[in-house]
Structure 1
Amino acid sequence: MSESGHSQPGLYGQGRRRRRRRDRDQGPPGQNLSGPSRDREYVPRERRDGSEEPAGPLLQKTPIILAKPPGERAKPSQSASLGGAPSLEKPIMLMKSRDEGGKPGTPPEMVPSAPGSGVAKLEREGQRPTQPVYQIQNRGMGSAAASGTVDPVIGQTKLLPPEKMKHSIKLVDDQMNWCDTAMEYLRDQTDMLVVGVIGLQGTGKSTVMSLLSANTPEEDQRAYVFRAQTQEIKERGGNQSSGIDFYITQERVIFLDTQPILSPSILDHLINNDRKLPPEYNLPHTYVEMQSLQIAAFLFTVCHVVIVVQDWFTDINLYRFLQTAEMLKPSTPSASHDSSGSSGADEGTEYYPHIVFLQNKARWQEFCPRNLKKMHMAVDKLMAHSHLKYKGTLSMLDCNIFPGLGRDYLETEVNLFLLPMLENEGEDALTRAGSGSSSTPLFSLLPGYRGHPSFSSLASKLRSQVLAMSRSQLSHTILTEKNWFHYAARIWDSVKKSSALSEYSRLLS
């Protein structure tokens, strides 16, 4: 009995040392102990380094360990390395560089962590992929932020005004080739108006387009955005414009000035300079007429408003030319998709612009209400079979030019507008009215009789009415300025390669 009694404490101490070694390697072994030894060994359990016991199943039995002062607790990294279990205390991350976090833009969950670190996952959860506020506000501003164009209230860049054009540029050159120089002035916005002009030689197309776009009658004509004919060109019967000129205002109105249709100066230039004609044209006059038809058909497809300028009333061949260009224009989708079944097939599938007949250099007799009524009736009968929108969008009666006339005076009011001759201020009023030949007026203090309002007031009223016209949809999709440019380039290419125009050219020759 004595030997067995002395052997028991030794065995018990030996087992206790084994359990302590196992505690350091595997954690609290409270489940493997039995009897009173479990209470004596585990209740006062503390680590030798003074750290708290990691959370475990026995956390509820020993809540006193949570009341230890923070100074006696070890750091999370030490606790994880000593105990082998992750700490519950969340680390605090102030800033983490991009070199440590991987490539810029990498999410924090995708950043690789060092192997063997027990707090790598908690570090990824605590990391915030943010940047300083000043970097976010100044991002993408570049030199705009340094130049003082940043709104101090919201910290964003102010919208810069569109670039202002100083003069017109080529959209189609004199060789009838498309030019891409206008692309840099266009923007990605849809609120635009496209205005084109056609007319015979010397009718004042470039002057009218300059007054509608950017200039005033008081300015020098040499500073107009569309160059007018010089005195030398007028004397030799030449033409100033060639091809199609492009100009866009800051109000996003696109103006297209064109070379004269059926121009004798262009025909004379082809004959006298022995210019080679394209192989599909045999005669020079056929080539000149086909050029004019191509330009007119192009404008009828890509413009909201087309202004037909003439300087005397009226040329029957001009209306035949307009109807021919309407017939040969390329087919385009309708601007409105809600066309009723009662409308014609052509009206439901084709786009047609507004057309305005501008009587330039009009005499005072043409402003007589009786003559004005006859002019409207003549234009209405000549355009009766046309699908072009030649009535209902422009009215001289709304301009307070004829205050004594009501709206019902003109039974068929077409888009007809009259502009008088552009005159100097010091010119004789009586001579302008055709009532005398003296160089001095009878009453110098009284304004001379004109028979019509001044040119400046009429030009201003014309501009306001043209710019107020409806901006219908040109194609089956809503076009931005840049999309319109590409759409116009495709239309011009299709016009030059049109089989209908080729067949018409063959019939002419």
Structure 2
Amino acid sequence: MSESGHSQPGMYGQGRRRRRRRERDPGPPGQNLSGPSRDRDYVPRERRDGSEEPTGPLLQKTPIILAKPPGERSKPSAPVSVTPALEKPIMLIKTREEGGKPGTAPDVAPSTSSAGTAKLEREGQRPTQPVYQIQNRGMGSAASGGAVDPVIGQTKLLPPEKMKHSIKLVDDQMNWCDSAMEYLRDQTDMLVVGVIGLQGTGKSTVMSLLSANSPEEDQRAYVFRAQSQEIKERAGNQSSGIDFYITQERVIFLDTQPILSPSILDHLINNDRKLPPEYNLPHTYVEMQSLQITAFLFTVCHVVIVIQDWFTDINVYRFLQTAEMLKPSTPSASHDSIGSSGVDDASEYYPHIVFMQNKARREEFCPRNLKKMHMAVDKLMAHSHLKYKGTLSMLDCNIFPGLSRDYLETEVNLFLLPLMENDGEDALTRAGSGPPLFSLLPGYRGHPSFSSLVSKFRSQILAMSRSQLSHTILTEKNWFHYAARIWDSVKKSSALSEYSRLLS
């Protein structure tokens, strides 16, 4: 009894000591599932030597196995993430307004050029570049990750707004108008074409055909309004001041009122309109208006077209030379450059001038008569600085296929347009020659059709060289401000004032 009594407590005491030793010394990792320091990389079912764990109530719970991703199993100290592994990393890119470039620290300041460009883009400004370069730049910034408003991006890609009719640049009171500013852009690839001529020579019609219309359209739909039948019957003028029109090809056309117009003079006399105080006689005021407009075109245009309806009026050439003499001087970058060179004419700007013989007759297309016309214009313009030769040729249009280039010894910028009329039997009937002998064959006119000649003339005008108007390259908006300053200087010119005093 005593032995059994002593043995039972000893066995129970020995079991308690084993359990306590096991709790204090958990052994190899993975054996104690409830311990706070277990490692989750091992399976807690067996010992390393292959011996089984003693059965007990603790082994009946289902174990929870947490495995690491394969790439992180070599790093035992890395924390375990419950987020599933991603194949591609996530990159967070900041906008330009928030700071520097993507991937840089916030305290690192961006470069000066990138900061200036970002500031210009936020303010909606662009450097002076052609339209297509501005559009490509906007697309590039959007592709590079910069924050670009989609509405602004679509606006930049839209084509320029098309004008439906001409607007006033200078009104009938000779005052400057600002309505043309909204159609201009910040780009430099432009061509400015102006026109002058006597009353009824067809200036508005020719400018409409060069800009936006075709001969087949109704003249009432032309962008520059031509003379109506009522105005023709009372010998009036349709245009007044200077009209402005710009095409989608960025070509600016300036249509003007007739020079030395008798209808404007008649209007001044009959309506008792008050003249400016510096003019005493109405005819002096009309002539000075014409000189102001012509001198203005000689300063702000690349090409000036002089339209006549018969060959030739000597007074027109005298008027052109007077306007050239009174033309305001071209602004220069510095006065020292002119003084050091010693040649003032080298810094002066002179446009290309083209003589248009409108409503030409059949005999004027004869090569012999054409040669005489070229020689006459060359002698009349011999002492002029205007570029009146070397940029336009009727021989290049294949109008006279049998003539060689050396036939015209002195070729000037002269082009002939026939009377605008419909093709077919109606034109021959109006000419008095009756119906053609063979109805299936077209009637011979001695020149190509009016439509083909207008197309060839337009291609040569648009292909003319675009010289620099001032000492800096002008954009369309800069040209508008430059033209406004030139018009103001023309109206206040001391040379023109002195000339008007000589006339009175």
Q: TM-score w.r.t. structure 1 length? A: 0.70
Partners of 1:285 and 1:66 in 2: CA distance: 106
- CA offsets per residue over residues 266-311 of structure 1, 9 Å max, x none? 0000011111000000000000000000000000000000000000
Is 1:491 matched with 2:489? no
Query: Which deviates further from its counterpart, 350-359 or 130-139?
Result: 130-139
- SS in structure 1 at match of 2:355: strand
Partners of 1:127 and 1:9 in 2: CA distance: 97
Cα pair 2:304 2:353 within 8 Å, conserved = yes
Shift in CA distance, 300/43, structure 1 to aligned 2, threshold 3 Å = same
- SS in structure 2 at match of 1:476: coil
- CA offsets per residue over residues 201-241 of structure 1, 9 Å max, x none? 00000000000000000001000000000000000000000
Cα pair 1:54 1:87 within 8 Å, conserved = no
Partners of 1:119 and 1:242 in 2: CA distance: 45
Query: Which deviates further from its counterpart, 73-82 or 115-124?
Result: 115-124
Partners of 1:56 and 1:298 in 2: CA distance: 111
- CA offsets per residue over residues 457-484 of structure 1, 9 Å max, x none? 0000000000000000000000000000
- CA offsets per residue over residues 385-413 of structure 1, 9 Å max, x none? 00000000000000000000000000000
1:346 Cα deviation after fit: 4.4
Query: Which deviates further from its counterpart, 261-270 or 325-334?
Result: 325-334
1:159 Cα deviation after fit: 1.6
Query: Which deviates further from its counterpart, 470-479 or 61-70?
Result: 61-70
1:444 Cα deviation after fit: 1.6
1:449 Cα deviation after fit: 1.2
Within-5 A mapping of 1:77-88: none
1:37 Cα deviation after fit: 30
1:367 Cα deviation after fit: 0.1
- SS in structure 1 at match of 2:154: coil
- CA offsets per residue over residues 222-265 of structure 1, 9 Å max, x none? 00000000000000000000000000000000000000000000
Shift in CA distance, 252/103, structure 1 to aligned 2, threshold 3 Å = closer
Query: Which deviates further from its counterpart, 231-240 or 339-348?
Result: 339-348
Shift in CA distance, 42/156, structure 1 to aligned 2, threshold 3 Å = closer
Cα pair 1:109 1:124 within 8 Å, conserved = no
Cα pair 2:244 2:254 within 8 Å, conserved = yes
1:424 Cα deviation after fit: 2.0
Gaps of 5+ in 2: none
Cα pair 1:50 1:72 within 8 Å, conserved = no
Partners of 1:219 and 1:353 in 2: CA distance: 31
Cα pair 2:421 2:427 within 8 Å, conserved = no
Cα pair 1:138 1:145 within 8 Å, conserved = no
Correspondent of 1:461 among 451, 456, 463: 456
Shift in CA distance, 445/159, structure 1 to aligned 2, threshold 3 Å = same
1:442 Cα deviation after fit: 2.6
Partners of 1:130 and 1:21 in 2: CA distance: 87
Partners of 1:94 and 1:167 in 2: CA distance: 51
- SS in structure 1 at match of 2:78: helix
1:445 Cα deviation after fit: 1.4
Partners of 2:53 and 2:112 in 1: CA distance: 25
Partners of 1:9 and 1:125 in 2: CA distance: 93
Partners of 1:79 and 1:62 in 2: CA distance: 24
- SS in structure 1 at match of 2:64: helix
Shift in CA distance, 13/204, structure 1 to aligned 2, threshold 3 Å = farther
Cα pair 2:393 2:411 within 8 Å, conserved = yes
- CA offsets per residue over residues 85-123 of structure 1, 9 Å max, x none? 999999999999999999999995599999999999999
Correspondent of 1:199 among 197, 200, 205: 197
Cα pair 2:243 2:256 within 8 Å, conserved = yes
Which residue pairs with 2:210 in the alignment?
212
Cα pair 2:128 2:475 within 8 Å, conserved = no
Cα pair 1:52 1:65 within 8 Å, conserved = no
Shift in CA distance, 429/341, structure 1 to aligned 2, threshold 3 Å = farther
Partners of 1:505 and 1:294 in 2: CA distance: 11
Cα pair 2:95 2:147 within 8 Å, conserved = no
Q: TM-score w.r.t. structure 2 length? A: 0.70
- SS in structure 2 at match of 1:287: helix
Q: Number of residues paired by the alignment?
A: 503
1:160 Cα deviation after fit: 1.3
- CA offsets per residue over residues 122-176 of structure 1, 9 Å max, x none? 9999999999999999999999999999999999876211110000000000000
1:316 Cα deviation after fit: 0.3
Partners of 1:298 and 1:206 in 2: CA distance: 18
Cα pair 2:338 2:347 within 8 Å, conserved = no
Partners of 1:210 and 1:315 in 2: CA distance: 25
- CA offsets per residue over residues 177-221 of structure 1, 9 Å max, x none? 000000000000000000000000000000000000000000010
1:40 Cα deviation after fit: 33
- SS in structure 2 at match of 1:298: helix
Cα pair 2:169 2:176 within 8 Å, conserved = yes
Shift in CA distance, 80/204, structure 1 to aligned 2, threshold 3 Å = same
Cα pair 2:166 2:223 within 8 Å, conserved = yes
Which residue pairs with 2:223 in the alignment?
225
Which residue pairs with 2:278 in the alignment?
280
Query: Which deviates further from its counterpart, 468-477 or 12-21?
Result: 12-21
Gaps of 5+ in 1: none
Shift in CA distance, 41/377, structure 1 to aligned 2, threshold 3 Å = closer
- SS in structure 2 at match of 1:307: strand
